[in-house]
């Protein structure tokens, strides 16, 4: 779990660093960072629910809310499917 979290943070940091030096690729790099981070959040929180078993779905545990929030990240602003399409289109035009 910690590896995916660190990878998402590193990708976001690299995206922010490259935004100044290569502004033409900033949007696509941002899409990549959002896609990876949001899907990593879903996988991580899903694993946490698996560890807790049935209790993971109870509102008594914070992981239930974290999973709902993480799942929402894949649906808001741009869905994961739209991000994949935009990233693929950008890769094909290179």
Complete DSSP assignment for 23-88:
GGGHHHHHHHHHHHHHHHHHHHHHHHHHHHGGGGGSTTSHHHHHHHHHHHHTTSSS-HHHHHHHHH
pTM value?
0.83
Q: What is the DSSP letter of 11?
A: H
For 7-46, how does the pLDDT look when each residue is reduced to its tens digit (9 = 90+)? 999 999 998 888 888 777 888 898 999 999 999 999 999 9
pLDDT (average), residues 63-85 = 90
Q: Which domains does the chain have, with CATH numbers?
A: 2-92 (1.20.140.10)
């Amino acid at each position: 779990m910690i590896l995916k979290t660190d990878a998402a943070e590193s990708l976001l940091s690299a995206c922010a660093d490259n935004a100044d030096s290569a502004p033409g690729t900033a949007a696509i790099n941002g899409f990549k960072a959002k896609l990876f981070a949001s899907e990593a959040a879903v996988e991580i929180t899903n694993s946490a629910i698996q560890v807790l078993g049935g209790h993971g779905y109870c509102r008594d545990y914070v992981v239930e809310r974290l999973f709902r929030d993480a799942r929402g990240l894949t649906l808001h602003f741009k869905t994961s499917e739209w991000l994949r399409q935009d990233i693929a289109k950008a890769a094909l035009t290179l």
